[in-house]
Amino acid sequence: MAKLVHSMIRVLDEARSVAYYEKAFGLRVVDRVAFPDFTLVYMAGDEVGFELELTINHGRTEPYALGDGYGHLAVVVDDLDAEYARFTAEGLTVGKLVDFKNGDVPVGRFFFATDPDGYKIEVIQKGGRFM
């Protein structure tokens, strides 16, 4: 049995991305490994043994091509409305609050945030299957 441990994205600016994931989601840097050509930064929250890995390729300035295959990382929060207000107040890029239903069946409430490189993060109200 394999155990899911991290998801890796390439970002242009280490400090900018670390600051974003700290401020937006409360993640902390739990490890950082610098190589001659690139640096790996591992960030995690308190609750889950799953990490976000940032790869910074030194000298890269051209924005990464995000394509249309990879979708997003998702997080749950205790109070979606409060988080939406906080993101907005702090000037963090967000889409609309969505009350998502399948026909008449509620699926979840969420909004999408966008990180400094353009990656989407789905912010979901804790509840139901999103725990």
Residue 122 is among the residues annotated as catalytic for this protein: yes
Which residue of 9, 92, 97, 98 would you call a contact of a second copy, by CB under 8 A?
A: 9
59 is a contact residue toward a second copy (CB under 8 A): no
Report the distance separating Cα 96 and Cα 102, nearest Å: 18
Which residue of 13, 114, 116, 130 would you call a contact of a second copy, by CB under 8 A?
A: 130
Nearest CA to 21 among 89, 13, 108?
A: 13
Report the distance separating Cα 10 and Cα 54, nearest Å: 6
Catalytic residue among 14, 51, 83, 122: 122
Binding-residue pattern over the window 12 to 41 for a second copy, x denoting contact by CB under 8 A:
------------xxxx---x-x-x------
Contact between 53 and 40 under an 8 Å Cβ cutoff? The reply is yes
